[in-house]
Amino acid sequence: MQNVSANRLMHKIKPGKSGASSLRSTSFYLALMAGVCLLLADIEIISPSPWLELKAMGQGLITPTIPDYQELLSGLANTLSFALQGMALAVLAGFLLSLLYRHWWVRAFCAFVRAIHELFWALIFIQCFGLSPLTGLLAIGLPYAGTLAKIYGELYEEASPHPRAHLLHSRSLSAFLYTTLPLAWPALRHYTRYRFECALRSTVVLGFVGLPTLGFYLETSLSEGLYSEAAGLLYALLFLIASQRWWLRKTLLPLYLLTAVVFLPPTASINWQIISQFFTEDIVPQPLRTDNPIGPWLVFLWQQQLWPGLSNTLVLSQIALFFTALFALLVFPFCSPLFFGRRIGEVAGQVIRRSGDGLLIIARTLPEYLLAFVALLLWGPSMLPAIVALALHNGAIVAHLTARFGEQIVLRDDACKGLNRYFYEVLPRIFRQFMAILFYRWEVIIRESAILGILGIATLGFYIDSAFEEFRFDRAALLILASALLNMLVDTLARSLRRNLHLNTTADIR
């Protein structure tokens, strides 16, 4: 009798279907894909003297200078103004959209606007409004509105439905305002705050295409090899982001926003003719405008740009995803109390953990784009700088979140130490959550892989940027559309993978 039931149990938990083994096989395929991609990728070091350049950068880092305080201040002020106004627009639009998030067309619209990177939006709006404040505002505001609407919508769904269900006419807007909204409010605030930090980073990156933010001055001094000046700007940026918790206050926000609008009014010399020409003529495929067959144009574009761009984007992102995972698994113990807690002495543990935390904060504060730009100066244009930049930035985020998740684990007093503890006690417990976090970053890594093309790596961004430079907006539009579709596809795939692997799908880990 006992045997029979044991047998049944065995049948229920088929070895091939159990959660742990599907996690294992997923990790195996991730590594396998990365291996194949590495064979296809171009990771040469082209630069003639990478060590000399590295030395110069190192020297710059320890001798920061600020030659022009006015330039620094205006860069900082512009960065803040763009980020504040962009976020204000995004929060407003995102909130309104989130109220309608149950409609499929709203979800589709949000997915589309956030699938296009803010740098691509900037390249589009520059064609319409020039290098104006309005361009920066829209480039941040539009994709961020899509993201916020999605997260807000998900947070409403996670709020307890009971208080609302107890009311009369519980489907009304008023009932939402009094129950669901306040219940979701703390999470909403938390996420919006995090998103503001992202907006600061994005604004800096917009400087690399010409908007007068810190990124603009950083790009100038980095390309001229003025590493001490670049270091000064870099430290200013780090300080700005790290000090957020002291200056980003709810009560001061209206004042900040008002100042931002007065300082940098979101205006542009709007020429409707140019704008309408851009949307009705320039982005229409050239053969359609000239009454030629569109087939050859599409074939040419596919063979010369779309296919290489898409495949390079995928190759880069898969390698970067793998190294992100590897880097995160390597470094998360250094900021986890499970490894550097009381056991090895209060002070020493604290010191190691604090410095681990500090380094990770720096790595995740610096945008991938900036890291890739610096790595490119070192090693020349290949995939290597992009891989390093993506793995550092995303790995730091994954490691931080993994370590924070690890804080919930309580080990027994006599648990083993060192490597044994890592492999036998901790890794098995955190691996599921770790994979969930990693899959959340997957979409981000793909978006960024495409964008890093602007720096000269042959991903989609490279072809998009070239198309803009050649004023072939029809090609740019098609390529941007392709990148958006790719992102939406990966987003869907990652979500179904998370569901199949029974991974956490809540929003709080992003």
Partner 1 sequence: MNAELNLQSSLPGQKARGPELAAGQHTVFLLNNAQLSYQGRAVLNNVSLKITAGERVALVGKSGVGKSTLLATLRRQLPDALAWCPQQTGLVPMLSVYHNIYMGGLQRHNSLYNLLNLIKPLSQPLCEVTELAALLQLDKHVFDRVEKLSGGQCQRVAIGRALYQQQNVFLGDEPVSAVDAYQAEQLLQLIVERHETLVLALHDVELALGTCDRIIGLKDGAIVLDAPSSTLKVEQLAALYR
Give the binding range for partner 1 (CB under 8 A) out of 73-81, 99-107, 155-163, 386-394: 155-163
Should residue 165 be labelled a site residue for partner 1 when binding is judged by CB under 8 A? yes
Q: Give the separation between CA 20 and CA 432, rounded to whole angstroms.
A: 8
Should residue 183 be labelled a site residue for partner 1 when binding is judged by CB under 8 A? yes
Rounded least distance, CB 153 to partner 1, Å: 19
Q: Which is nearer to partner 1, 85 or 179 (CB)?
A: 179
Should residue 254 be labelled a site residue for partner 1 when binding is judged by CB under 8 A? no
Should residue 187 be labelled a site residue for partner 1 when binding is judged by CB under 8 A? no
Rounded least distance, CB 151 to partner 1, Å: 19
Tokens of 289: 């405008």
3-state secondary structure of 147: helix
Rounded least distance, CB 176 to partner 1, Å: 9
Give the binding range for partner 1 (CB under 8 A) out of 43-51, 163-171, 326-334, 456-464: 163-171
Should residue 174 be labelled a site residue for partner 1 when binding is judged by CB under 8 A? yes
Tokens of 443: 């979409």
Q: What angle is formed at CA 90 by the lines to CA 405 and CA 391, rounded to 5 degrees?
A: 40
Q: Give the separation between CA 265 and CA 274, rounded to whole angstroms.
A: 22
Should residue 67 be labelled a site residue for partner 1 when binding is judged by CB under 8 A? no
Burial of 364 (0-12, 13-18, 19+ CB in 10 A): buried
Should residue 49 be labelled a site residue for partner 1 when binding is judged by CB under 8 A? no
Residues 6+ positions from 176 with CB-CB distance below 8 Å: 99, 156, 164
Q: Give the separation between CA 437 and CA 238, rounded to whole angstroms.
A: 24
Q: Give the separation between CA 402 and CA 397, rounded to whole angstroms.
A: 9
Q: Give the separation between CA 148 and CA 144, rounded to whole angstroms.
A: 6
Tokens of 4: 């029979």
Counts for the chain of helices (H) and strands (E), in that order: 25, 0
Should residue 179 be labelled a site residue for partner 1 when binding is judged by CB under 8 A? yes
Q: Which is nearer to partner 1, 31 or 96 (CB)?
A: 96
163, 337, 341, 456: which one binds partner 1 (CB under 8 A): 163
Rounded least distance, CB 163 to partner 1, Å: 4
Q: Which is nearer to partner 1, 152 or 216 (CB)?
A: 152
Should residue 250 be labelled a site residue for partner 1 when binding is judged by CB under 8 A? no
Q: Which of residues 266-325 bind partner 1 (CB under 8 A)?
A: none
Task: Write out the residues near partner 1 by the rule CB under 8 A.
Answer: 160, 162-163, 165-169, 172-175, 177-179, 182-183, 185-186
